[in-house]
Amino acid sequence: MTWVKICGNTTLADAQLAVELGANALGFIFAESKRRVTPAHVATITAHLPDDIERVGVVYSRDAAEIASIVREAGLTAVQLHGGLDLPLLQQLRDRLGKEADLIQTLHWVIGSESGQRLREEMDRIASLRLVDRILVDSKVGSLGGGTGVAFDWKAARELFQRDDLKVIVAGGLKPENVREAIRELEPWGVDVSSGVEASPGQKDPDKLRAFLGAAKG
C-alpha cells in the first residue's frame, strides 16, 4: 500500500486528523514558508502523536549541527533536505544522526525543462553512496521548490520511479482529484501533499484530507 505523507502541518488538530484518516507520516516546515513552524512548537505536537507515525522535518539549512538540533528538539524521526543535492552535508548528517533519523533527499523536476537526465544522474550518485533512505521528486517553478501546487510531467518521469535501489516519493500538484492517477502512472513508493489538502496555507481542509487519503490508500 502506498506510503502517504501530509506536509505543512502547523496545528495538533490537523496532525491528529491526518493520523486518524490513515497518514503514515506528517511533515513540518522549518524554512521560509507560509507554513513555517519552530522546533519548540512542533515538539508540542509530536508529543501527542503515536510512536508509529513518522515525523519529518523539511529543512533548507546547510548546517548539520543545526539540523540535528532541530531533529532532537522537535521530536522528529526523519529529515527532508531541500535546496539541492549536497553530498558532504548528507555524510555529516549520517555521521551525526546515525539511525536516529532517516534522510530524505528532495530532487526537483523543473517545470518547463527537460529534467529527466539530470535527475537520473543525481539518483545514481545517491544510490551508489547509500547515504539516503528515500528520494522525493517535487516540482520546481521559478525559485519555488515546494508547495507550488503544480504537477510535473508524470509520463516523462515514469522511468525515474521504476528503481529497485531507491524508494521514490512523488510530490508537487497532488490533490484528491489526481492522486490515483499519479499512483497509477508512476507507481511510486510514496506520495506527499501539502497545498492540495489545505483550506489556506498551514490550515488543512478536513474534507480534502479525507478525500486525498481515501484515494491514495484505496
Q: Is the predicted pLDDT of residue 145 greater than 80, yes or no?
A: no
User: Tell me, what amino acid is at 76?
Assistant: L
C-alpha closest to that of 57 among 109, 2, 8: 8
pTM of the model: 0.94
Give the active site residue among 7, 14, 102, 192. Answer: 7
pLDDT tens by residue, 84-134: 899 999 999 999 999 999 999 999 998 877 788 999 999 999 999 999 999
The residue annotated as part of the active site, out of 133, 138, 165, 207, is 138
Q: The domain at 3-217 falls in which architecture?
A: Alpha-Beta Barrel (3.20)
Exposed e or buried b per residue across 130-146, where buried means at least 16 C-beta atoms within 10 angstroms of its C-beta: ebbbbbbbbbbbeeebb
**Residues near 215 by beta carbon (within 8 Å), at least 6 away in sequence:** 176, 179, 180
Can you tell me the mean pLDDT for 136-161?
80
Q: What's the pLDDT tens digit per position in 37-84?
A: 999 999 999 999 999 999 999 999 999 999 999 999 999 999 999 988
Active site includes 138?
yes
The per-residue pLDDT for range 172-209, each reduced to its tens digit, is: 999 999 999 999 999 999 999 999 999 999 999 999 99
Question: Domain map of the chain by residue range?
Answer: 3-217
pLDDT of residue 187: 97
User: Is 63 assigned a catalytic role?
Assistant: no
Distance CA(56)–CA(28), nearest Å, equals 6
